[in-house]
């Protein structure tokens, strides 16, 4: 109640607010539960991870690994559990419902129309929310959404009927060699979750499929130098990170 999620209109009565109403929405519920079930336990182990693995760039040497008593990365663990995978995918979709992460920024700030009839591969696209937004606005684009099968489970049901011939899903782990030859490959909020050495591996995995003039688009957060922007803005930007905020390589 002190955070105004619920309120007390009279002594002894608990009432809902517009904020608590959001909890009934599946994507918002997934976002909240990902924070409480995945991110918070990992955050409480961050200092332990820093002490155990100082300056590590290994994705399995993190607060998340300690919290889950595992040597695997956050994505290996979450993708192996259908419930956690669907919850995580829902959380990613919830971000696009907020103004600062609205997909309009992604769709409108690149000249997609200039590509003509292009095949576009959305790597790490989860349930396809970004790819579907592109397909809606640009009828000449065909989309292939790639991610862990467990994260994409049931995603086809969310594709509007008129887009089903242009939006398809394909199981793919982005450290594997890319097998789809396309005009455009894009990474939407992927690299901020990985230390540099893994980001290089992800990009190198594209090489076998790249054809002349293929385009690689990266849409992600670039962190400013500490103290170079307003403190409230810097704080918000640092909230964007997931894996890096839980690992010694931050």
User: Do 73 and 63 contact (CB within 8 A), yes or no?
Assistant: no
Cα dihedral value 67, 68, 70, 76, nearest 10: -120
Asked if 105 is an active-site residue, the reply is: no
Backbone angles phi, psi at 141, to 5 degrees: -90, 140
- Distance separating alpha carbons of residues 51 and 48, to the nearest angstrom: 5
Choosing from 37, 105, 188, 192, which is the catalytic residue?
192
Q: What is the DSSP string of 184-246?
A: EEEEES-GGGS-HHHHHHHHHTTGGG--TT-EEEEE---PPPTTSS-HHHHHHHHHH-SSGGG
Residue 89, token pair as written in the block: 């995918």
- Tokens 């500490």 correspond to 226
| The 142-147 sheet, strands edge to edge | 167-171, 142-147, 119-123, 184-188, 215-219
Residue 169 is classified by DSSP as: E
Beta strands in the chain (DSSP E): 6-7, 15-16, 119-123, 142-147, 167-171, 184-188, 215-219
At CB < 8 A and 24+ separation, what contacts does 71-78 make? 73/243, 74/38, 74/42, 74/242, 74/243, 74/246, 75/148, 78/38, 78/151
Q: Which residues are catalytic?
A: 192
């Amino acid at each position: 109640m002190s955070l105004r999620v619920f309120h007390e209109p009279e002594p002894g009565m608990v009432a809902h607010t517009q904020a608590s109403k959001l909890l009934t929405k599946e994507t918002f519920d997934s976002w909240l539960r990902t924070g409480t079930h995945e991110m918070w336990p990992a955050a409480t182990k961050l200092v332990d991870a820093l002490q155990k693995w100082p300056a590590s760039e290994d994705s399995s040497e993190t607060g998340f690994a300690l919290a889950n008593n595992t040597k695997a990365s956050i994505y290996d663990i979450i993708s192996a559990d259908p419930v956690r995978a669907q919850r995580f995918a829902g959380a990613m979709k919830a971000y696009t419902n907020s103004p600062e992460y609205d997909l309009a920024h992604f769709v409108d700030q690149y000249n997609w129309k200039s590509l003509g009839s292009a095949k576009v591969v959305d790597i790490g696209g989860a349930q396809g929310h970004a790819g579907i937004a592109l397909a809606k606005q640009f009828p000449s684009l065909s989309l292939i959404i790639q991610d862990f099968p467990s994260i994409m489970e049931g995603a086809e049901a969310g594709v509007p009927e008129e887009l089903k011939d242009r939006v398809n899903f394909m199981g793919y782990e982005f450290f594997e060699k890319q097998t789809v030859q396309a005009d455009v490959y894009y990474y939407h909020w992927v690299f901020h979750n990985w230390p540099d050495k893994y980001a290089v591996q992800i990009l190198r995995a594209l090489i076998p499929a790249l054809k002349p003039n293929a385009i690689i688009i990266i849409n992600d957060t670039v962190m400013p130098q500490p103290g170079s922007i307003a403190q409230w803005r810097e704080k918000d930007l640092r909230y964007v990170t997931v894996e890096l905020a839980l690992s010694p390589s931050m």
